[in-house]
Amino acid sequence: MKKITILLLLSVALTACNLFYPQNQSETVRNAPAAETPETTTTAPAAEVPETTTTAPAAEAPETARNHPAAGASETTTHTPATKGEAKPLYTVSIEAPETVKKNEVFSITATLLNSSGKRTTIMHASQLFIFRIKDSKGMQVNVISMDHVGIMRGLRANETITETYQYKLESTGQYEASAIAQFRVGEGNYELETNKSVFEVVPQ
C-alpha cells in the first residue's frame, strides 16, 4: 500500500513537473532577451572627394631683351652725325620768266647753267643745252620742243655760266609754269638737271 502511494506521488510529481517545466521553459525562451546580435559595421566606402586641381598661374615669360635690356646691358643707339650742309653740287641750274605776259605777245625765258665745281671743265651737249617746257594750269605742256642733236663742246672755267634764252607766245590767258632741263655730258658722265619752276600769268592785251 505504501508503495502504491509512493508511486502515485511520484507519478503526480512527474506529471506536475512535465506540465510546469515546459511552460516555464517556453516562457524562459520567450522572455529571455534575444542574444545580442553583434552589430555589423558596414563601412561605406568614403565618397570620393574630387581632387581639387589648383592651377598655379603661369609664370610670366620674361620680356625679350629687345624691348627691355637685361640688367647691366645698355641699348645701342646709332647716331648718324649731322652733315653740316649738303654737299655742294658740281653744277647748278636756274630759270627766270616774267611775272606777267600779254596774250599773243612774244616773251622770253632765260635758263642758266653754273659751273660750281671749283675747277675748269669741258661739257658736251646738243645744239641747245636746255630743253624748255611751258605747262598750263592743268599741267599740260603747251609748247613744242625740237633741236638738232649736234655735239657741241664747251669749256667752262670755275664759276662760269652758260645762259640760253627761249622765246614763245601764248594765245590763251591764264596761269602757266615754265621750267628747263639741262642735258650734257662731262667725260663719261651724263647729267640731266632740272631748274626751278617759274609761274607767270598771261593776261588780255
- Would you say the C-alpha torsion 44, 50, 52, 53 has a positive or negative sign? positive
Q: Would you say residue 20 has pLDDT above 80?
A: no
The pLDDT score that the predictor gives to residue 52 is: 43
Q: Span 8-15, mean pLDDT?
A: 61
pTM of the entire predicted model? 0.57
Q: Span 126-134, mean pLDDT?
A: 95
91-203: in CATH 3.40.50.2020: no
- pLDDT > 70: what percent of the chain? 58
**How many contiguous H segments (helices) and E segments (strands) does the chain have?**
1, 10
Which positions ≥6 away from 187 have C-beta within 8 Å? Answer: none
- Is residue 47 very low, low, confident or very high in pLDDT (cuts 50, 70, 90)? very low
Q: Beta strand pairing status for 100-102 and 198-203?
A: parallel
Q: Hey, which residues does 163 pair with through a beta bridge? A: 112
Q: Would you say residue 51 has pLDDT above 50?
A: no
Stronger pLDDT, 80 or 44, i.e. the higher one: 44
- Is residue 71 very low, low, confident or very high in pLDDT (cuts 50, 70, 90)? very low
What is the Cβ-side half-sphere exposure of residue 165, based on CA atoms within 13 angstroms? 5
Closest CA to 198 of 112, 104, 109, 89: 109
- Is residue 178 very low, low, confident or very high in pLDDT (cuts 50, 70, 90)? very high
Q: Would you say residue 18 has pLDDT above 70?
A: no
